[in-house]
Structure 1
Amino acid sequence: MDPLAPFFERFGLSARMFYSGKQCGISPDLNEPTGYLHVLRKGTLTVFRPDAQPLVLSTPSILFFSRPQQHRVHGPEDEGADLVCATVRFGVGMLNPLTASLPEPFVVPLDTLPELAPALELLFSEANSQSSGRQVALDHLFEYVLVLLMRSALNDRLLSSGVLLGLADECLRKAIEAMHKHPEAPWSLEQLAQRAGMSRARFAARFRKIVGITPFDYLTDWRLGVAQAMLRKGSSLKLIAAAVGYANATALTRVFSKRVGKSPSDWLSERN
C-alpha cells in the first residue's frame, strides 16, 4: 500500500502559482483558505510573521505554510531573491493529519533534497519562460514538488513527530495503514496492536511517542477528516456515518461537533 495515497485521495491536492521573479516583498492574500509554498533558488529571504521572530533564509530552501497564516516575504532590493510561490489547497480547514503534523512553517534546505533537483529545474525554467500553457504547467509542477516534499519527509524522516514519522516506523505503519484503509471498522486497541505485532501497552506508548497523539485520537481525526471530504462531495450524513464507523448520523454529528466546534452542516455551509 502506498502510505501517502490515502491523504491525496481523501483531501485532494491543487496548487496555483501566483508569483515568480526577483522580488523585494510579497504579502500573500489570506482571504482564501489556502496554504503557501515558496521555493527560494538563490538569494536571501526574510519571512515576517505576527508575534514571531523574523525567519531568515540564506540558503536555497522550500518554505511551506500548510495552513493559512499571515506572513510577508522580503528580499534585499539591491539583490532580490530568485523565488517562485504558489497557493496550495490540501485539506486546508479540514482534519488532515498529514498537514496537521507539519511545523508551521515547514522549512527544508534544498541541498537536503537532491531528489527534487530535476523537478525544481523544470519549475524555474517554466517560471522564467512565456511559453503557451505556462500557468497550467507551473501549477502541476508545484503539485509534483509538494508530493516529492512529502515523500522525502517520509523516507528521510525530516520530522520529529507526526503521522509521517509513524508511517516510517515498520510496526506502526501497519496499524496506521489499517485505520486509513478501513475507517469504518470497529477498531480496538488490541486489534491495532496486533496489526503492529506489539502488546497493547507497548503499542499505545510507542504510537503516542512517535505520532504525538493516542491511537484513538488519531483514528477519530482520520474518521472526521474522511467525513469532511465526503461532506464536500455531497454525501449524506447517514452514508458518511456508516463509512467512518459511527452507528448513525446523530452519533457522527455529536463527535464531529465536539471535535470541530460546529455541526457538520454548519461546517459545510462555511465552505460553500
Structure 2
Amino acid sequence: MSLIDVNSSEVGVPAIDRLTPVLERFRVQASLFHAGPLCGLSTFDAQPGRGFLHVLRRGEMELLLRQGARTERTPLCEPTLLLFPRAVHHEFINPPVDGSDFTCATLDFDGGNRNPIVQALPDAVVLPLKEIDGLGGALDLLFAEADQTRCGSRLLANRLFEVVLIQVLRWIIDHPERAQVTPGMMRGLSEPRLAKALMAVHAAPEADWTLERMAEHAGMSRSAFAAAFKSATGATPAAYALDWKLNVATSLLRAGRPVKQVALELGFADAPTFSRAFRRRNGSSPREWLSQRHA
C-alpha cells in the first residue's frame, strides 16, 4: 500500500445522493476509544467484523501492515486519516516519548464483512486530511469533544466520527482511482450513468431488476450497460441485484423480521424460494444463519 497519489486527475460526478440508500440499509456505529499522543509501538489486532478510523492530528509516524509473510511500511509526516473498514492487523511506530497526536474510533458495520460498503473498500485508505474538502469543520468539532469531558461528549464524538466517515466515503466515490478502489459497488457509484441504475436497485430491492430495466435507468443500451456494469462492479447486473436483495435480507433478519415476511417483502415467490437462494449465497438457511449468529 502507498499513500494516495494527490496528483491524479479528479473524476467528475453529478450532484446525486449515492450514499443515503446504502447507509440507511446498512448502518455503521463509531466508538471513540483514544484521544491524545501514542508513543512507541501501538498494535491494533484484527477483530472480525470491526474496523478502525484513526486521525493523525500532529506528528510523524510509520504505519506497518502485516499480511502473511509480507510487511508494508508507510511513513506519515502530515495530518492524515487512516480508514480500515475490515479486520486488518496494523501497527503504528511513534517516537518513544512525545509521540504523535491521534484521535481514534472503532467502526462496527451492520453485517460486518458482508456489509456492502466494507466489501467495496480496500483494506486500508490512507488519506492526507487536506485532500477532503470541507472536512475541517467536522474534525474541529470532533477534536473539541474528544479532548474534553462534558455532558454527552463521548456520544457526540461518536456521531462526529460517523460524519467524518460519510465525508470520506463521498471522497472515495468521487476519486475511486486515487482511493485505489477495486471493482465493486463504490466503483459503480462513481460512474454517473451506472450510479442511476445502482441507486434504483438499492432503493427498491424487491423489484424485478431485469437487464433491460436497469439499462433504462442508466440511459444506455443493454449491451453497453452490461459491459460497463461488469467492468465497474465485477458482477453481472442480475448477480448484483440478487446479491443486494440478499444483503438486505440479512439486515431484515437481524432486525427480527420473520423469514416468511422477509421473503415476501423482497419479492421472492415464497419462503422456500428465498431460503434456497439464501443458502446458495450464505451456505446455510435463514434460520440456521440466525441460530449461528445467536450462538
- Same fold? TM cut 0.5: yes
User: Comparing 206-215 with 160-169, which one deviates more in the overlay?
Assistant: 160-169
Contact 2:26 2:251 in 1 (8 A): yes
Aligned equivalent of 1:96: 115
Asked if 1:198 is matched to 2:220, the reply is yes
**CA distance, structure 2, for counterparts of residue 48 and residue 195 of structure 1:** 41
- The AA in structure 1 aligned to 2:223 is A
Gaps spanning 5+ residues in structure 1: where? none
Q: Partner of 1:237 in structure 2?
A: 259
Aligned mates of 1:261, 1:81 — CA distance in 2: 45
Secondary structure class of the residue paired with 2:112: coil
Aligned to 2:148: 129
Deviations 1:184-233 (A, max 9, x none): 11221111112212121110110111222221222122111100110011
Choose 101-110 or 122-131, whichever is displaced more. Answer: 122-131
Q: Which residue number in structure 1 is paired with residue 131 of structure 2?
A: 112
Following the alignment from structure 1 to structure 2, what is the Cα–Cα distance between the partners of residues 7 and 230? 14
Identify which range, 197-206 or 148-157, moves more after superposition: 148-157
Q: Secondary structure at the match of 2:81?
A: strand
Deviates further, 69-78 or 176-185 = 69-78
In 1: Cα distance, 2:22 partner to 2:75 partner: 29
Which whole-Å CA distance do the structure 2 matches of 1:257 and 1:37 have between them?
33
Instruction: Output the CA distance in 2 between the equivalents of 1:267 and 1:76.
Output: 46
Return the offset for 1:57. Answer: 4.0
**Pairwise CA distance, 1:129:** 2.0
Deviation (angstroms), 1:23: 0.8
For the Cα contact (< 8 Å) 2:48–2:86, is it kept in 1?
A: no
- SS of 2:106's partner is strand
Q: Which residue of 1 is the match for residue 57 of structure 2?
A: 41
Would the aligned equivalents of 1:95 and 1:224 in 2 still touch at CA under 8 Å? no
In structure 2, distance between residues paired with 1:104 and 1:88? 14
TM-score between both structures, scaled by the size of structure 2? 0.84
Q: Which amino acid aligns with 1:113?
A: I
Q: Deviations over 1:1-42 (max 9, x none)?
A: 632111111111211011121113333465563211111122
- The Cα of 1:172 is off from its aligned counterpart by 0.8
1:71, distance to aligned residue in structure 2 (A): 2.8
Matched residues in 2 for 1:268 and 1:26: separation?
A: 36
Contact 2:184 2:234 in 1 (8 A): yes
Secondary structure, aligned partner of 2:95: coil
Paired with 1:259 and 1:100, the residues of 2 have a C-alpha distance of 15
- Is the contact between residue 86 and residue 113 of structure 2 (CA under 8 Å) also seen in structure 1? no
Tell me the secondary structure at the aligned position of residue 129 of structure 1.
Answer: coil
> Does the CA contact (< 8 Å) of 2:111 and 2:251 recur in 1?
no
Percent identity between the aligned chains?
39
